[in-house]
Amino acid sequence: MPLVGKIEDIPPAEILIFLADSGKTGKLNFTTGTQEGMIVFRAGKIIYAASSSIRETFGSIALSLQIVTREQLDEALVLQHRSREDKRLGEILVDIGAMTNADVEKILLHQVGQVVREIFEWETGYFKFRNLEIAQFGDIEADARDFIVKSPLDTRSVALDAARVQDEATLQPEPVVDDHDEMEEETPGPTSMAQIMVDIAAPALTAEAIREIFEVASKIFSRGVVFAVHDRSSRGLAQFGLEELAVPPSQRIRQLWLPESEYSVISAVVRDRAVFRGEPDHVRGNVKLTRVLGGNWPTDAVAIPVLIGDNVVLVFYGDNEPHGQPVGSTFALEEFLKSLGKRLGESNQ
């Protein structure tokens, strides 16, 4: 018997904690009408999470967190392609000594945390949980399978951590059972993870795509950042050229979230679906961005959207720091990002 209800009535954090405490196995779907999210549980613990926002591949996260080098990732990808065994990229990177098992778990927790944090931002919509008997790992594309957690994550810890980040007040209501769904039959027999994962398709952002963006951008800028865009916020994904501070650059960027409600050059680009160029206004959102980047206030900044159809999925930001010289022509970068949007859109079809 499915559990269904409205997000505005029961916060997602409370739904997760209820399922954890109940030891449920199955899939929890969220929808806002424009966005979708899914979390898969085994015995109350999270084994997979995804959303309809642009999806980073395992290699992209490992590279942007500076856990592996480009050379190590390239070597592992070649080995994965040539291997006759169905091995995860993370396993191969561990085998060649590029990362540890603890690093793999860090990436998995990071990916799940990002999805959960995104869902926690949704203020309206619907949720539905269905009990499923989930088959063991297998018959899954290697890239997606990298994000299935072998050692399930503690749901309560993930939920509370995401809730703390969002600074949300928590209530204790009981999940609602929709009487209209009481007679709906559960899926018979074990359901494979491959079947579950096709529920939400999202364009995949690979490490190679990030690398291509930075190769073009580095000819124009001394530093740059790529943001992923969700319904109500943009979050930092990767950077190049940022100065080393007490907190490493990749970690600073990964912790940077810019809400749509707080004006910044990034939110302006998402709203207008157009390139921004000029000196950023001294408003809170831009101040937050500049503090994370480090250095002086930029006098010539550029933010360029990557669109799939009419939707902005990524934003590239660069400016004239640390040298203070005017930025040159960005035509080549804008054209490249247009072509990237088309490629990402085609990969999602």
State whether 153 and 296 are in the same domain. no
Pairing of strands 276-278, 301-308: antiparallel
How many residues appear in the chain? 349
Name the token pair of 39.
């979390």
Kindly state the average pLDDT of the residues 7-35: 90
Kindly state the average pLDDT of the residues 323-345: 95
Query: Of 149, 179, 197, which marks where a domain is finished?
Result: 197
Query: Of 159, 179, 197, which marks where a domain is finished?
Result: 197
State whether 44 and 187 are in the same domain. yes
Residue 225 to residue 288: CA distance in whole angstroms: 14
pLDDT at 54: 87
- Model pTM above 0.75: yes
State whether 287 and 244 are in the same domain. yes
User: What three-state secondary structure class fits 250?
Assistant: helix
Name the token pair of 281.
């206004």
pLDDT at 175: 41
Whether the predicted pLDDT of 144 surpasses 70: no
- Under the banding of pLDDT at 50, 70 and 90, the label for residue 108 is confident
pLDDT digits (tens, 9 = 90+) for 74-102: 999 999 888 777 788 999 999 999 999 99
Residue 234 to residue 230: CA distance in whole angstroms: 6
Q: Which domain holds residue 181?
A: 3-197
State whether 159 and 239 are in the same domain. no
pLDDT at 99: 94
- Under the banding of pLDDT at 50, 70 and 90, the label for residue 197 is low
State whether 223 and 261 are in the same domain. yes
Instruction: Give how many domains the chain has, as a whole number.
Output: 2
Whether the predicted pLDDT of 180 surpasses 60: no
pLDDT digits (tens, 9 = 90+) for 287-311: 999 999 999 999 999 999 999 999 9
